[in-house]
């Protein structure tokens, strides 16, 4: 149940393109034809499905606060999470390279259709964004991380497929000259994003809390903790004196 919920949530509610605007660069650049869009979309699903679980493992066993405890109790106090950007991007870049080599070796037909898109993907924000959201939303298990990766990949695939189809059709309409190409694509994407917002109530029945609230609460808590620690420090110093 958990898996199905996260799966649909990552496809529709938290859609990579329409809710968080990730991977917009390639979304705009490679959406002129449906066939190429399908190729890139498939490559994104594939790479997200591989890198999100991989980065989940990295985060859980190396980067998180106290994650190194498995090495021994003296390592438990390390917090390497500041390294996560560089680790994630390195994993992604190497994985993309690896996937490219493997696909070229074992399935030349697939390589011919996906090949040119794979290097593009290393710098696609959707891929790094998938891993960063996985980290910031604290996805609990490896299985869920895989579901999240595949789900967000499919969401991105659907988005680029839809815009490519619309752009193929819109060629025959009379768009104002200054709006042709990029401008109208932006506006269509905006309208599609508004449409996708209606999926928001799909799983919760509409009583979902707005996303900003927890963040604010976290900030307040943090400030309180800071205050508390300050007071404790002050007490300690007075005691010492």
Partner 1 sequence: MGLLSKKDTALLTDPLADNNPITIQVLGICSALAITAELKASIVMAVSVMFVLGLGNVVISLMRNIIPSKIRIIVQLVVVAALVIIVDLVLKAFAYELSKTLSVFVGLIITNCIIMGRFEAFALGNSPWRSFLDGIGNAAGYGLILVIVGFFRELLGSGTLLGFKVLGDPIEKSGLYAIGYENNGFMLLSPMALIVVGMIIWIQRSRNKALIEEN
Which residue ranges make up the site for partner 1 (CB under 8 A)? 18-25, 28-29, 82-86, 89-90, 93, 119, 122-125, 127-129, 132-133, 136, 171, 175-184, 186-187, 189-191, 193-194, 197, 215, 218-219, 222
CB of 4 to partner 1, least distance (A): 25
Nearer to partner 1, 108 or 119 (CB): 119
Nearer to partner 1, 24 or 69 (CB): 24
Nearer to partner 1, 218 or 233 (CB): 218
CB of 117 to partner 1, least distance (A): 15
Backbone φ and ψ for 217, nearest 5 degrees, come out as -60, -40
CB of 74 to partner 1, least distance (A): 25
Long-range residue pairs from 21-24, CB within 8 A, at least 24 positions apart, any chain: 22/125, 22/126, 22/129, 22/130, 22/156, 23/124, 23/125, 23/126, 23/127, 23/129, 23/156, 24/125
Tokens in use for 232? Answer: 């404790």
CB of 237 to partner 1, least distance (A): 23
Nearer to partner 1, 69 or 193 (CB): 193
Cα dihedral 181→184→187→192 (10° resolution):
-90
> Using alpha carbons only, how large is the chain's radius of gyration in Å?
22
Contact 7, 146 (CB under 8 A): no
Task: Locate the DSSP E strands across 7-113.
Answer: none
CB of 125 to partner 1, least distance (A): 4
Which residues, 6 or more positions from 93, have their beta carbon under 8 angstroms from its beta carbon? Answer: 122
Nearer to partner 1, 71 or 101 (CB): 101
CB of 179 to partner 1, least distance (A): 5
Nearer to partner 1, 94 or 141 (CB): 94
């Amino acid at each position: 149940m958990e898996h199905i919920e996260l799966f649909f949530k990552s496809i529709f509610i938290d859609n990579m393109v329409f809710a968080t605007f990730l991977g917009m660069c390639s979304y705009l650049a490679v959406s002129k034809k449906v066939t190429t869009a399908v190729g890139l979309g498939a490559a994104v699903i594939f790479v997200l499905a591989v890198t999100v679980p991989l980065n989940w493992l990295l985060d859980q066993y190396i980067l998180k606060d106290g994650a190194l405890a498995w090495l021994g109790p003296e390592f438990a106090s390390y917090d390497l999470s500041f390294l996560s950007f560089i680790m994630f991007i390195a994993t992604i870049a190497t994985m993309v390279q690896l996937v490219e080599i493997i696909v070229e070796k074992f399935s030349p037909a697939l390589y011919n259709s996906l090949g040119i898109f794979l290097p593009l993907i290393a710098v696609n924000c959707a891929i790094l964004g998938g891993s960063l959201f996985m980290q910031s939303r604290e996805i609990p298990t490896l299985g869920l991380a895989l579901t999240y990766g595949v789900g967000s990949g499919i969401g991105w695939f659907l988005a680029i497929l839809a815009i490519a189809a619309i752009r193929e059709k819109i060629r025959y309409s009379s768009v104002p000259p200054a709006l042709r190409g990029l401008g109208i694509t932006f506006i269509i994407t905006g309208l599609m994003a508004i449409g996708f917002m209606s999926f928001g109530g799909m799983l919760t029945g509409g009583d979902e809390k707005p996303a900003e609230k927890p963040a604010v609460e976290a900030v307040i808590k943090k400030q309180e903790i800071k205050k508390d620690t300050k007071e404790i420090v002050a007490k300690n110093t007075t005691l010492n004196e």
